[in-house]
Amino acid sequence: MDLNLTDDQKAFREEVRTWLVGNVPREIRHDGTREAFEEHREWEKRLYEAGYAAIHWPQAYGGRDADLLTQAIFQEEYFRAKAPERINVLGLGLAGPTLMVYGTDEQKQRWLPKILSAEEIWCQGFSEPDAGSDLAALRTTAVREGDEFIVNGQKIWTSLARYGDWIFTLVRTDKDAPKHKGISFLMIPMDSPGIDVRPIVQINNDAGFSEVFFTDVRVPAENLVGELNDGWRIAMTTLGFERATGLGAHVRFSRDLQELVGIVKAAGLAEDPVTRDQVTKLFVETEVYRHNMYRTLTRLAGGKPIGPEASLNK
């Protein structure tokens, strides 16, 4: 891939770098509370007001039509500036682009502006206890009843579920169809009666993931994206957007690795063979990630399918 920047791209890098220097908050909470979440939402709104919330979106939907290299430039500068972690990434990176492809005009008008402005934060409801690597084995059901779907089931490892406003999810709408054929793509408000969110507290006391239980949750039929029972095809498109993410994250990994090297030296472990071996392996993995990210960019820029290697970027 030709990574020589154009004058416009160089100017964009300088523009972004200058804005981040003047606007990245000096302090922002990371304690997993509602207050911390709302602080991050306010940061998302500042990005939106400055025109940086979703530069990859088409101009018609409020973006900048940024090409892949311009997106990578933004992400590199974002991580280099140690800007806060994005909480709207699932809406901006997955739900929004999926709606652009499969949503009705009414759905686009309803959801896209509020995704872009961070008024509504989204989470993703794909994985289930028995449907992780085999996603098509999902058991959460949605039964049509008049102008509504009645949803029952469970999702797991759901990021942002505690405080998110909406969840885009896969549900089984035809139990008799082959497992890949009877699935639909449904948008559900997280404040719906019958939704129970249970945080998964990990060993480090982090609770970034949750279980989400649906008990007779009523969802308007107009929240169905695409055709009934066509959710698997839509989900593959969504996952394609996901596998193309991670642009610029190598900067964060390299930065963290440099900090780790400093800690190792301060602890007097720089000459310890086991420690040196572990740090070297981390360096190699970071470089592999960086080169694989550029390989993904090259394939996407050339209009080629990204293939399974792009999953490594996750």
Last residue of a domain, one of 213, 242, 271: 242
- What is the Cβ-side half-sphere exposure of residue 1, based on CA atoms within 13 angstroms? 19
| Whether residues 304 and 269 fall in one domain | yes
CA-to-CA distance for 60 and 44, rounded, in angstroms? 20
CA-to-CA distance for 287 and 244, rounded, in angstroms? 18
232 or 4: which leads in pLDDT: 232
| Whether residues 67 and 81 fall in one domain | yes
* Residue 108 placed within a domain: no
Bridge partners for 132 per DSSP: none
129-141 b/e (C-beta count within 10 Å ≥ 16 → b): eebeeebeebebb
pTM beyond 0.85, yes or no: no
CA-to-CA distance for 31 and 40, rounded, in angstroms? 11
* Residue 96 placed within a domain: no
Report pLDDT for 96. Answer: 96
Give Cβ neighbours of residue 66 (< 8 Å, ≥ 6 apart). Answer: 55, 56, 74
296 or 15: which leads in pLDDT: 15
| Whether residues 57 and 133 fall in one domain | no
Report pLDDT for 301. Answer: 64
CA-to-CA distance for 82 and 77, rounded, in angstroms? 9
| Whether residues 157 and 232 fall in one domain | yes
CA-to-CA distance for 287 and 144, rounded, in angstroms? 50
Residue 275 has pLDDT above 80, yes or no: yes
Determine the Cα angle at 88 with ends 86 and 89, to 5°.
75
* Residue 97 placed within a domain: no
Q: Is 81 exposed, middle or buried (0-12, 13-18, 19+ CB in 10 A)?
A: middle
| Whether residues 258 and 284 fall in one domain | yes
CA distances from 276 to 62, 255, 262 (A): 48, 18, 13
Closest CA to 165 of 38, 43, 33, 36: 38
Give Cβ neighbours of residue 12 (< 8 Å, ≥ 6 apart). Answer: 70, 73, 74
| Whether residues 209 and 252 fall in one domain | no
What are 238-250's pLDDT values in tens digits? 988 875 556 666 7
Per-residue DSSP letter, 117: T
Any idea what the CATH number is for the domain that residue 178 is in?
2.40.110.10
**How many structural domains comprise the chain?**
3
Let me know: does 122 contact 91? Beta carbons within 8 Å: yes
Last residue of a domain, one of 242, 269, 289: 242
Q: Which residues participate in catalysis according to the annotation?
A: 242
What are 162-207's pLDDT values in tens digits? 999 999 999 999 999 988 999 999 999 999 999 999 998 877 667 7
Give Cβ neighbours of residue 132 (< 8 Å, ≥ 6 apart). Answer: 157
| Locus of tokens 């779907």 | 149
Domain that holds residue 283: 246-311
| Whether residues 187 and 273 fall in one domain | no
Let me know: does 289 contact 250? Beta carbons within 8 Å: yes
| Whether residues 259 and 223 fall in one domain | no
| Whether residues 19 and 77 fall in one domain | yes
| Whether residues 155 and 238 fall in one domain | yes
| Whether residues 181 and 278 fall in one domain | no
* Residue 198 placed within a domain: yes
Any idea what the CATH number is for the domain that residue 25 is in?
1.10.540.10
| Whether residues 147 and 224 fall in one domain | yes
